[in-house]
């Protein structure tokens, strides 16, 4: 599709699960595109989304949808183990593909997929975290040199999503994504891959220095806590840590970010972004708007670049670097260490004369 094309991009959506509502909302807002078909193996689920968003064509088979409808592109929101097959199917039909992250469950599979598909179609990964408004603002500050030399950075994702809820005793994350219970790769592959991508978008390519993982929730087999130590090519150390069993934290708490700079530092907490030091600046964001906004931005970028024949910011090739870091993290950590109540050292603070108890 050339830059002079004026007809809307005709899009078919594959998958109508939990996250699809964010996609459909973004497609409704996108300029230059229209969803004309929707598919899900559970036809009632596909029909429900079609009714909700006014889509005429409904399918329960991806091959049938791609073969029968005049489409230009597909949006793949299916389970991660099906992504490679869906991209290959799209390539056989000459349809450009927007694929939810991760492109593939493993780095090796992703390398093979990118090699096989080549330039037959354009493939973009919907790695939309880096499109979040506060991360875009941080990127602007970094590009303008307002932080001086960046000397340390940390991104943290602390949630209570793998703890039983008070109201019903159910594990919140598993009510939303039941498949996580049987996955050997959980926190890094499903969530911290976003933070890895944000770190790369802000600070450039990284190498893994170390990784440690842990496992506290007995309802899953994979890791629910992890710490990654990364080093950028120019020497900056970046720490990414996450935990899904942090009591008192929200089940879907947003990221916390700290960046130390010689001129200004940055703190992001609770959707409040602060620039501190030689300059003072504060921005307060609505987290719900930021969340939907990153879907809106990434999908509009996909449309714009398909129509113009340009380069995707979050291309399939770009994501290979994030998946490689993910793979290295799992290899470095080994099996997640089982976490249980610790036997703490039998040392108590000394009694300090005159201090209140």
- 112 plus 247 within the same structural domain: no
- 188 plus 76 within the same structural domain: no
pLDDT for residue 142? 98
- 262 plus 324 within the same structural domain: yes
- 104 plus 163 within the same structural domain: no
- Domain for residue 301, yes or no? no
Picking from 64, 99, 121, the residue at the C-terminal end of a domain is 121
Range of the domain at 89: 9-121
Q: Which of 148, 240, 249 is nearest to 198 (CA)?
A: 240
- 116 plus 248 within the same structural domain: no
Q: What is the mean pLDDT of residues 133-140?
A: 98
Residue 354 has pLDDT above 80, yes or no: no
- 134 plus 117 within the same structural domain: no
Residue 4 has pLDDT above 80, yes or no: no
* Confidence category of residue 18, pLDDT binned at 50, 70, 90: confident
Model confidence pLDDT, tens digit, residues 225-250: 999 999 998 999 999 999 999 999 99
* Confidence category of residue 34, pLDDT binned at 50, 70, 90: very high
pLDDT for residue 348? 76
- Domain for residue 45, yes or no? yes
pLDDT for residue 125? 98
Q: Which of 28, 50, 34, 270 is nearest to 156 (CA)?
A: 270
CATH of the domain at 19: 3.40.50.720
pLDDT for residue 355? 63
Model confidence pLDDT, tens digit, residues 58-95: 999 999 999 987 999 999 999 999 999 999 999 999 99
- 323 plus 209 within the same structural domain: yes
- 229 plus 332 within the same structural domain: yes
Strands 237-243, 150-158: parallel, antiparallel or unpaired by DSSP? parallel
- 215 plus 273 within the same structural domain: yes
Average pLDDT, the chain: 94
Model confidence pLDDT, tens digit, residues 96-126: 999 999 999 999 999 999 999 999 999 999 9
The residues facing 274 across adjacent strands are: 267, 282
* Confidence category of residue 275, pLDDT binned at 50, 70, 90: very high
- Domain for residue 303, yes or no? no
Please give the share of the chain, as a percent, with pLDDT higher than 90: 85
CA distance 245 to 226: 11
pLDDT for residue 321? 97
pLDDT for residue 166? 87
- 143 plus 249 within the same structural domain: yes
Model confidence pLDDT, tens digit, residues 291-304: 999 999 999 999 99
Q: Which of 133, 136, 140, 131 is nearest to 297 (CA)?
A: 131
Model confidence pLDDT, tens digit, residues 179-220: 899 999 999 999 999 999 999 999 999 999 999 999 999 999
Helix, strand, coil share of the chain (percent; to 5): 40, 25, 35
Q: What is the mean pLDDT of residues 281-295?
A: 97
CATH of the domain at 284: 3.30.360.10
Residue 127 has pLDDT above 90, yes or no: yes
Picking from 87, 121, 155, the residue at the C-terminal end of a domain is 121
Please give the share of the chain, as a percent, with pLDDT higher than 70: 97
CA distance 215 to 225: 6
- Domain for residue 52, yes or no? yes
CA distance 188 to 105: 11
CA distance 146 to 86: 43
- 169 plus 216 within the same structural domain: yes
- Domain for residue 300, yes or no? no
pLDDT for residue 62? 97
Model confidence pLDDT, tens digit, residues 326-349: 999 999 999 998 887 777 777 777
pLDDT for residue 356? 61
Residue 5 has pLDDT above 60, yes or no: no
- 213 plus 67 within the same structural domain: no
pLDDT for residue 340? 79
Q: How many Cα neighbours within 13 Å face the side chain of 269?
A: 7
Give the 3-state secondary structure of residue 248: coil
Domain count, the chain: 2
* Confidence category of residue 2, pLDDT binned at 50, 70, 90: very low
């Amino acid at each position: 599709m050339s830059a002079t094309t004026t007809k809307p991009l005709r899009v078919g959506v594959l998958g109508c699960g939990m996250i699809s509502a964010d996609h459909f909302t973004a497609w409704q807002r996108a300029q230059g595109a229209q969803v004309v078909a929707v598919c899900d193996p559970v036809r009632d689920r596909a029909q429900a989304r079609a009714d909700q968003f006014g889509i005429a064509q409904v399918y329960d088979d991806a091959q049938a949808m791609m073969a029968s409808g005049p489409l230009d592109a597909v949006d793949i929101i299916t389970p991660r183990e099906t992504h490679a097959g869906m991209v290959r199917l799209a390539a056989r039909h000459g349809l450009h593909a927007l694929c939810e992250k991760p492109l593939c469950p493993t780095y090796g599979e992703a390398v093979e997929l990118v090699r096989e598909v080549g330039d037959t179609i354009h493939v973009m990964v919907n790695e939309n975290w880096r499109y979040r408004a506060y991360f875009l603002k941080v990127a602007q500050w970094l590009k303008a040199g307002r932080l001086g030399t960046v000397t340390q950075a940390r991104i943290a994702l602390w949630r209570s999503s793998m703890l039983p809820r008070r109201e019903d005793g159910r594990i919140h994350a598993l009510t939303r994504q039941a498949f996580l219970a049987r996955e050997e790769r959980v926190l890094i592959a499903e969530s911290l891959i976003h933070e890895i991508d944000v770190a790369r978008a802000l600070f450039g390519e990284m190498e893994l220095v170390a990784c440690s993982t842990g496992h506290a929730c007995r309802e899953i087999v994979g890791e629910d806590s992890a710490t990654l130590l990364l080093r950028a090519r120019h020497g900056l150390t970046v720490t990414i840590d996450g935990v899904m069993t942090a009591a008192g934290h929200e089940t879907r708490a947003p990221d916390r970010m700290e960046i130390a700079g010689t001129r200004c530092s940055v703190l992001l907490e609770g959707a409040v972004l602060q620039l501190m030091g030689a300059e003072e600046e504060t921005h307060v964001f609505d987290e719900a708007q930021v969340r939907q906004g990153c879907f809106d931005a990434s999908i509009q970028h996909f449309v714009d670049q398909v129509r113009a024949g340009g380069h995707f910011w979050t291309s399939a090739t770009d994501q290979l670097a994030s998946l490689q870091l993910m793979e290295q993290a799992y290899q470095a950590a080994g099996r997640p260490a089982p976490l249980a109540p610790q036997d703490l050292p039998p040392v108590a603070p000394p009694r300090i004369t005159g201090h209140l108890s």
